[in-house]
A and B are shown apart, each in its own frame.
Chain A
Amino acid sequence: MTDLSAASSLDATRAGYLAMTRQKRMYSGLTLALFVIAMIMGFRIVEGRSAGGFLDGLPQVFDFPASLVTEAWEKRANLPGYLVEFFPALIETINIAAVSTLLGAGLGLLLSLLSTRGLAPFPRLIPVFRRIMDILRAFPEIVIALVLIFILGGGPVPAMIAIALHTAGALGKLFSEVSENVDLKPVEGLQSVGAGWWQRMLLGVIPQVAPNYLSYALMRFEINVRASAILGFVGAGGIGYELRNAMTFGTGRFDVSAAIFILLFLTIVFFDQISSYYRNKLVHGNQP
């Protein structure tokens, strides 16, 4: 009797489990099918709205790199000269990234402290500062840069301001996520001895969050090096600007382009490695 009911309840459980699995599988299968359809449809739409087709272009992907490499190899004697010639432009690109990271991190720090519960001096204004960060983050750098180029003329300053504003929004959000988990006891201790808001933040909060903040700022610096190269391409100075000049000169001066590609590649890899090394060190302490 007991055996029978146990067996039937086991059967029911198994049937229920299988039904659930089937349903789950059906749902995930449906999602997957929808996803695949969306990918294929999207790809066809994009292909239809482009000048060249995907299959027509595919064999040509390596034509340009090949001719770039051949021409650069034929004129390889010029390469060291070009590397030296464009080094100042590279320094400008790195400077744009560094200054905008510094200024953006400063502004982001301020915004994050102003928008963290428990730390903000004006708690009622927290949503306002959050929205400001959202909006700063949503502005693509290129928009601000192009508007500022119209007003200030070409050069590194528009790019710097554009990247700094975006960085302030992006870092502000990451910073405030960190500072929300901050231990409030040191802050209260400082308040009890009569410290002002700035003193509480500088002495009570910053030492706790500095490693995380620095790690985020380093990551942002790495992103900003890329961004400042791209903005140079639309007229904001630095190595990107030189690259565009080299690319649009007649059919393109491939040896110059190759030199700039090499500089850009090495720079990006260099800062990528440096930043990930120090980030590891900051987050995991000094142990190897």
Chain B
Amino acid sequence: MTATADFTAGTARDQAHALIGRKRRVALLVPAAILAYLVYVFFAFDVAGLAERARLDNARILVADSYSHKIHVTRDGRASDLAFAVEGETKGRYPEGMRPDWVEGGIDDAVIDLGDGHVIRFLPDRRVTYDLPGQGQIDINRVNDVIVASFPGFAPGDSPDWANVSDARVTITTEAGRLTVTRSKDEVFRYFFGWELFWFTLDSPYHNVGVWTLLTGPQLDPLRSNIIGAYQDFMGNQMWRHADVFWAIGETILMAFLGTFGGALIALPLAFLAAKNFAPLVWVRFAVRRVFDFVRGVDGLIWTIILSRAFGPGPLTGALAILVTDTGSFGKSFSEALENVDEKQVEGMKSTGANAVQRYRFGVIPQVTPVLLSQVLYYFESNTRSATIIGAITGGGIGLFITQAMQTQKDWEEVSYYIVLIVMMVMAMDSFSGWLRRKLIKG
């Protein structure tokens, strides 16, 4: 008697040991497999070679540009005076008689203070000097139309690695700014913190006017009241193109809206045909389901490409691509929701003599509406993000703006502005759809 008890206890213990041992092996095996996979990918993606390919100077430009702006001072060989411009763009040019306070003198005696002891002088005969703190003076002259630069502590013709010297062009980049001397012009820029001209361009009377003065102060433009004028000048800002950008944000949301709700409207009747309890014909059900699977499987990317051939570039293609892809997703999930419908309400409607349409309208729709709406709203939110991406491919909305700004590889302050707007848009849509979902489901 006791022997058998010992025996069973023994086998139970053995079994437990075996089980724990197996679990332990699995627990070790899974991380080991993941690690092995990561090692494989490390080599497959050539992560080690990334360090060579990475352009850290690009990263520096990007970071510096994204939170600061440059003001260019230019001496053109043919012009009679210095020109000042924000980001070196025509749109940011200083009007006549206005100049930054760190530049003194005229075209042949300009002293440009870059701060921290960095001083650049534009001298007669297009000579340029650069006083570098702790290093001495760099002297740049033109000899027979060839640019000659002499650096302190370097032999003639030799130059340090932070300067780029050739016969036609000398570029000196320091932490204070950059000096470029070419055959036709000398140009200096200096970095400043912040997004310059974000509110108003220099030609607007409201530039550099405080909010308080704007609201309560005297009328600055005789033709327009301050608030209307400020609104017009802000929206019409040539540097930042606020009106266009806000339009683009709206367009992106519109693409998502049309795609999501259009897809839901098309999917709803089709979902009835794919639901087991509503479609008595097996082959119809099968066919509709395969259509849903196919539409979903052909990814949004492929739909975008196919549709852009028919509808051309623009937000219409993006909206339709979202619509087609979502029809598949909605069709699948709607038909699943319809299959879980409680039959009692439908039978109740039937017993009062309701016809098929009335049965669906009053017996089915009220049951599934909260589920469907919550799904649709969830997709709406995630589609605002997709619309940004599809817009970048097909050319519509904020996605187009951000890819264009990135392709110039210099408007990083605009890129960061768009990123901030996109993130704000997605977060706003997130909380809006969450709020609406809660409200609709609770009633």
Chain A residues close to B by CB (< 8 Å): 35, 38-39, 42-43, 45-47, 49-54, 57-58, 60-61, 63-65, 92, 95, 98-99, 102, 134-135, 137-143, 146-147, 150-153, 155-157, 160, 226, 229-230, 233-234, 240, 243, 247, 261, 264-265, 268-269, 272
Task: Flag whether B37 is at the interface (Cβ < 8 A).
Answer: yes
CB distance from A25 to the nearest CB of B (A): 12
A interface: dominant SS: helix
Q: Which residue of A lies closest to B307 (CB)?
A: A61
Could you tell me the distance in whole angstroms from the C-beta of A217 to the nearest C-beta in chain B? 12
Q: Are A230 and B310 in contact (CB under 8 A)?
A: no
Could you tell me which B residues sit within 8 Å of A by CB distance? 34, 37-38, 41, 44-47, 50, 53-56, 58-59, 62, 251, 254-255, 257-258, 261-262, 293, 296-302, 305-307, 309-317, 319, 385, 388-389, 392-393, 396, 399, 402-403, 406, 409, 415, 419, 422-423, 426-427, 430
B393: A residues at CB distance < 8 A: 230, 233-234
Tell me which residues across on chain B come within 8 A of A64, comparing CB atoms: 306, 309-310
Q: State whether B310 touches A58 (Cβ < 8 A).
A: yes
Across the interface, do B310 and A57 meet the contact criterion of CB distance under 8 Å?
Answer: yes
Residues of B within 8 A of A50 (CB): 311-317, 396
Residue contact A269 to B430, C-beta cutoff 8 Å: no
With A39-B261, A45-B254, A46-B254 known as contacts, the answer to whether A57 contacts B311 (CB < 8 A) is yes
B301 close to A147 (CB less than 8 A): no
Taking CB atoms, residues of chain B closer than 8 Å to A230 are: 299-301, 389, 393
What residue of chain B has the Cβ atom nearest to residue A51's Cβ?
B312
Q: Are A272 and B316 in contact (CB under 8 A)?
A: no
Q: Which of A98, A137, A141, A265 meets B297, CB within 8 Å? A: A265
Q: Tell me the smallest distance from the CB of A277 to a CB of chain B, in Å.
A: 14
Chain B residues with CB under 8 Å of A265's CB are 297-299, 302
Excluding A95-B44, A137-B426, A138-B426, 12 further A-B contacts by CB distance (< 8 Å) are A39-B262, A49-B314, A50-B314, A60-B309, A61-B306, A63-B309, A230-B389, A234-B393, A240-B301, A264-B301, A264-B302, A265-B297
| Among A52, A150, A226, contact of B299 (Cβ-Cβ < 8 Å) | A226
Q: Which residues of A contact B415 (CB under 8 A)?
A: 147
Contact of A153 among B55, B254, B258, B298 (CB under 8 A): B55
Within the complex, the shortest CB–CB distance from B225 to chain A, in Å, comes to 30
With A43-B258, A142-B399, A153-B53 as given contacts, are A49 and B300 in contact (CB-CB < 8 Å)? no
Bound together, the chains give a CA A100 to CA B307 distance in angstroms of 29
Cβ 8 A contact of A150, one of B257, B296, B300, B406: B406
Q: Are B37 and A147 closer than 8 Å at their CB atoms?
A: no
CB distance from B62 to the nearest CB of A (A): 7
Establish whether residues A138 and B305, one from each chain, have CB atoms under 8 Å apart when the complex forms: no
Question: How many Å lie between the Cα of A138 and that of B426 in the bound state?
Answer: 5
Q: Is the CB of A147 within 8 A of B316?
A: no
Cα A156 to Cα B38 with chains together (Å): 14
Minimum C-beta distance from B78 to chain A (A): 35
- B310 A229 Cβ-Cβ under 8 A: no
Structural contact, A152 and B319, CB atoms closer than 8 A: no
Chain B hits for A268, CB < 8 A: 297, 299
Determine how close the nearest CB of chain B comes to the CB of A205; give it in whole angstroms. 15
Looking across the interface, which residue of chain A has its beta carbon closest to that of B415?
A147
Report A-chain residues with C-beta under 8 Å of the C-beta of B262: 39
Q: Of all chain B residues, which has the CB nearest A99?
A: B41
Say yes or no: B388 contacts A142, CB within 8 Å.
yes
Is the pair B317, A151 in contact by a Cβ cutoff of 8 Å? no
Residue of A nearest to B299 (CB): A226
Contacts of B56 in A (CB 8 A): 151
In the complex, which residues of chain B have a beta carbon less than 8 angstroms from the beta carbon of A150? Answer: 55, 58, 62, 406, 409
